[in-house]
Amino acid sequence: MNTDQRPSLLYSLCRRGGMLLFCLLVATVTGLSATGWADSLFLITGTEDEAAIILDPQQKEAPDLSSQMVYVSNGSRGYDITLQEDTTVTVRHEGSAVTVQSHKESVSSLLGRLHIYPSPLEMIGVKLSENSVEVNVASELTYYDYVTETAPFSTQRVANPDMLEGEEKVVQEGADGVRSSVYEVVWSNGAQLSRQFVEELDTTAVDKIVEYGTAKPKPKPSEAKQDPDGILAEHGETGGGIANVSENADGSGTLTLKDGTVLNYSGVRSMTATAYTTGHGGVGTRTASGTAVHVGSVAVDKSVIPLGTRMYIVAGGNVVYGLAVAEDTGVKGSKIDLYYDTYEECIQFGRRSCTVYILE
């Protein structure tokens, strides 16, 4: 070999050796990244049956999603989700969003391509829709779970003005069935934090209907002298009620209650109200805010009314629920759920339109 060729040859070998070392490092980092992602918890929503699918490293069998835009693959330590070619994918992480077209690649590869590296406590939510996929990387994920479950019958109480007060009769017997229900589920740091009943979509259960009397007995002669119209005074808004409302041009205003209390409000909402109580529909003794359930606790859609909001609520039929605080979740949209101490009170309340004053 010519002496003048030695430096060039040494440079070439070093360059090749450096490139080989670089490739080995890339392979090692890629392998570590894939292994880490295999340990991640995946939440898949938007499937054909609307039931959420939870994948964690301990799960042994993967679901069949061959009819969807993704499929699940498993390795020695966990699962990953592979996207089909040219799928529109929106990735959300740390308050930002980016939309890209996928290659035929795994979700972890896509995130690596976008230089998104979540912390160990963050989870991966994959939401499937008709023509796109949404990937949400966060330490807290909220989704709506659609399930079919056993439905016990409810008892409806109906006022009958032709029956005397204190009288009751069953006009329809109840029967248990099954129902399609929606639950709001919150996961935080890899574990389920809460699961709240939201609404019933349909049911085969048959309500028990009980009629109760509302007619007053005819007054005695001595009472008739004191009440010449024959009507014993009983009415008025429950809870005191509102004596006066003063509204400003911007929608804010002042409430003056019958007991003299003055409340300032920033706005007014017309909403639909239902009632709930502990021990029914999966309701426990703690609200989503961590407080003990009590009269005055109201369940809201926190994207409509933020948790902690103070309110004064007047429902249809002159029912004043009064002062309340948004402490619980489990409803969607322009609805609120009012807590009562007993199931009987919830049945009597039923579903009503209501006026909600947002207090300052």
| DSSP annotation of 102 | -
Asked if residues 170 and 210 have their Cβ atoms less than 8 Å apart, the reply is yes
Report pTM.
Answer: 0.46
For 134-188, how does the pLDDT look when each residue is reduced to its tens digit (9 = 90+)?
A: 999 988 888 888 888 898 998 888 888 888 888 889 989 999 999 988 888 888 8
Burial class (CB in 10 A: 0-12, 13-18, 19+), 23: exposed
What confidence score (pLDDT) does residue 56 get? 63
Name the nearest CA neighbour of 240 among 211, 212, 223, 263: 263
pLDDT digits (tens), the chain, 360 positions:
444 444 443 333 334 433 332 222 233 333 333 334 445 678 788 766 666 777 765 555 666 665 566 667 665 556 677 888 888 999 999 888 999 998 888 888 888 899 988 777 888 888 888 778 899 998 888 888 888 889 899 888 888 888 888 888 998 999 999 998 888 888 888 788 888 888 888 889 998 999 888 887 765 544 444 333 332 233 333 346 888 888 898 889 998 888 888 999 999 999 999 999 988 877 888 888 888 889 999 999 999 999 999 999 998 767 889 899 999 998 999 999 999 988 888 888 888 899 999 999
Could you give the CA distance from residue 280 to residue 64 in angstroms, rounded to a whole number?
34
What confidence score (pLDDT) does residue 67 get? 55
Ramachandran assignment for 139, one of left (phi > 0), alpha (psi -120 to 50 degrees), beta (any other):
alpha
Could you give the CA distance from residue 295 to residue 168 in angstroms, rounded to a whole number?
28
What confidence score (pLDDT) does residue 14 get? 34
Q: Find the angle CA(115)-CA(120)-CA(125) to the nearest 5 degrees.
A: 70
SS3 content of the chain, % helix, strand, coil (to 5): 15, 45, 40
CA distances, 232 to each of 214, 217, 227, 285 (Å): 13, 10, 7, 40
| Domain residue spans of the chain | 38-138, 141-234, 235-359
Domain 141-234 classified CATH 2.20.230? Answer: yes
Asked if residues 323 and 344 have their Cβ atoms less than 8 Å apart, the reply is no
Say which amino acid occupies 309: T
Could you give the CA distance from residue 331 to residue 301 in angstroms, rounded to a whole number?
5
Name the nearest CA neighbour of 96 among 70, 135, 131: 135
Can you tell me which residue has the tokens 């109906």? 158
Residues 6+ apart with CB under 8 A from 220: none
Name the nearest CA neighbour of 196 among 174, 181, 207: 181
Q: How many helices (H) and strands (E) does the chain have?
A: 4, 22
Could you give the CA distance from residue 62 to residue 44 in angstroms, rounded to a whole number?
12
Residues 6+ apart with CB under 8 A from 228: none
Radius of gyration of the chain (CA): 31
What confidence score (pLDDT) does residue 298 get? 95
141-234 and 235-359, same CATH topology: no
The CATH number corresponding to 235-359 among 2.40.40.10, 3.20.20.105, 1.20.5.510, 2.60.120.10 equals 2.40.40.10
